[in-house]
Amino acid sequence: MSGAGKVYLIGAGPGDPGLLTLRGKEILEKADVVVYDRLVSPAILGFCNPKAKMVDVGKMPTHHKVKQSEINKLLVQFACEMPGATIARLKGGDPFVFGRGGEEALELVSAGVEFEVVPGITSAISVPAYAGIPVSHRGIATSFHIITGHEKAESSSKVIPAQAGISSAPVGLDFPALAKCPGTLIFLMGIANMDFIARRLMECGKDPKTPLAFIEKGTTPYQRTVMATLETAGETIARENVTAPAITIMGGVVELGQTLAWKKNLPLSGKRLVVTRAAKQASGITARLTALGAEVIETPMIETRSVDGGLDFNSLANFETLAFTSVNGVESFFRQLFAAGCDVRVLAGKKIASVGKITEKKLLEYGIRCDYVPEDHTGEGLGKLLAEKCTSHVIASEHGERGNRLEESRILLLQGNLADETLLKLLPQATRWVVYETLPVTELPEWKREAVAAADAVVFASSSAVENFVKMTDARPSLSFCIGRMTDAAASKHGFETVTSDETTMDSLVKKIAEYYSAAR
Ligand code: SAH
């Protein structure tokens, strides 16, 4: 269907956001619509284009929130109604491994909608790997088999045995063949029916002492491995309260997990923390908390937005030097320049200045090399450098004092609304264009509100973040980690239990969080 949107069936992997493919991330970043499942982690949803329409079709274990047939129709509908749009259908693991991705693709084909499949890392192999269990191993298992432990009742022609007591029992499986099979057996969606599956395998001759492992929430900070044997499978699930999502892996390879389990129980394993810093600043603390085992939900309280319209690009002719002081400034300037129908040729012959290396690198992405970058990478350094360059330029052209001011007035500063006055003080004749604004975030998407409500604690680095966070959330954790006394006071005022870092640095805060949870264990 020409002109319609294109649908991407994307595998999100088993949970760890690092296991999403590069292709998957690339599409999520530009998606106009994201239709996602329950098993997709909030950290992966955080990669999606913030402007994308987020549609939760998550299936709860007991009831289907949105029926498969409705999901199929929804994808076609989005494609037809949104010409040229990128529609991401984000599914746990791999879309074609028990993901019903094939059914969605068939529906798209019959509606004539263009699509692409972005494979994902299936839980069937990666979850055992995170528990230190190789699915094949020389001398132990020369094949592995991925089997559903759950069957739609209507898909089986056989009558379901009453003693199974479960309408979804996989009665259609060839148990005699599976019992004989020497390879590793991996069951997905099988926890509720494992008692039935284990009994049928033993009836068909599989050794009751066959080792098996249940791996719950694999690759996430909540991963847990429970060992059993075929004969103790059902009772172990009940005793240990193994819950979905979990896979069951059976065979000699399971024993390797005793030696190869590499995923350490880290100080923050099993903790979900909300980080309220701006996205660019948050990445540092997010990486550190994640490395300590936490699941981090980045929920910035401020966002930057281009100032739309209002810039008079014709007047660029009056300026000789353009100075950029942030990556945001570069991106916003060019976005608006292009939107106004201009291109980089309007900068021909101009001198370009950057405050530091990162901004300089960003300019290079637009094909612009910088003429001036101060050695100390500060606003003050840039101001002094420009003053000196303009002055020497003027003296060389023997214009004297008046000329000096004239040259300085030909400097254009491209900055955000919250930029400090350093540059303007050093270059009082320069002109400043505000090319982007920093504003408080006023709304959280539904998926983020749900993730915040289920978090263990929230991390605050400023009292304004506390105020804004409280305004935006109804359900939130009661515990907060704060930087500094002011932040602590604001959080306490709003009823948070507070733990405050000894020093007002991120390092000190991260250390405090790790200590807090280590002591609580
Ligand atoms: N397409 C998915 C499977 C979908 S079926 C894939 O390729 O992984 C859903 C089942 O996958 C769950 O019932 C569970 O058995 C398994 N599963 C998915 N994610 C899991 C995880 N993080 N840990 C353990 N099992 C998982």
| Residue 270 near ligand 1, beta carbon < 6 Å | no
Mean pLDDT, range 5-11, rounded to an integer: 97
Active site annotation includes 189: yes
What is the pTM (predicted TM-score) of this model? 0.76
Contact indicator for 432, 332 with CB cutoff of 8 Å: no
Contact indicator for 217, 223 with CB cutoff of 8 Å: yes
Q: pLDDT per residue over 451-494, tens digit each?
A: 999 999 999 988 888 999 999 999 999 999 998 888 999 999 99
Contact indicator for 501, 512 with CB cutoff of 8 Å: yes
Residue with tokens 């948050």: 282
* 157 — pLDDT class (breaks 50, 70, 90): very low
Domains in the chain with CATH codes: 6-121 (3.40.1010.10), 125-160+170-263 (3.30.950.10), 272-301+443-520 (3.40.50.10090), 305-439 (3.40.50.10090)
Centre of ligand 1 to C-alpha 128, Å, is 11
pLDDT at 156 over 70: no
| Residue 221 near ligand 1, beta carbon < 6 Å | no
Contact indicator for 429, 404 with CB cutoff of 8 Å: no
Instruction: Indicate the SS3 state at residue 219.
Output: coil
* 158 — pLDDT class (breaks 50, 70, 90): very low
Residue from 303, 464, 295 nearest 482 by CA = 464
pLDDT at 154: 46
Centre of ligand 1 to C-alpha 244, Å, is 9
More confident residue, 197 or 155: 197
Instruction: Identify how many contiguous H helices and E strands the chain contains and give both numbers.
Output: 19, 20
The DSSP secondary structure of 175-187, one letter per residue, reads: HHHHHH--SEEEE
Q: pLDDT per residue over 342-368, tens digit each?
A: 999 999 999 999 998 889 999 999 999
Q: Looking at mean pLDDT, say which of 120-134, 315-329, 392-406, 451-465 comes out highest.
A: 120-134
| Residue 127 near ligand 1, beta carbon < 6 Å | yes
Mean pLDDT, range 76-98, rounded to an integer: 96
User: Which of these is catalytic: 25, 59, 263, 384?
Assistant: 59
User: Which of these is catalytic: 37, 94, 195, 488?
Assistant: 37
Q: pLDDT per residue over 228-237, tens digit each?
A: 999 999 999 9
pLDDT at 160: 44
More confident residue, 337 or 59: 337
Q: To which H or E segment does residue 434 belong? A: strand 431-440
Phi and psi at residue 302, to the nearest 5°: -130, 155
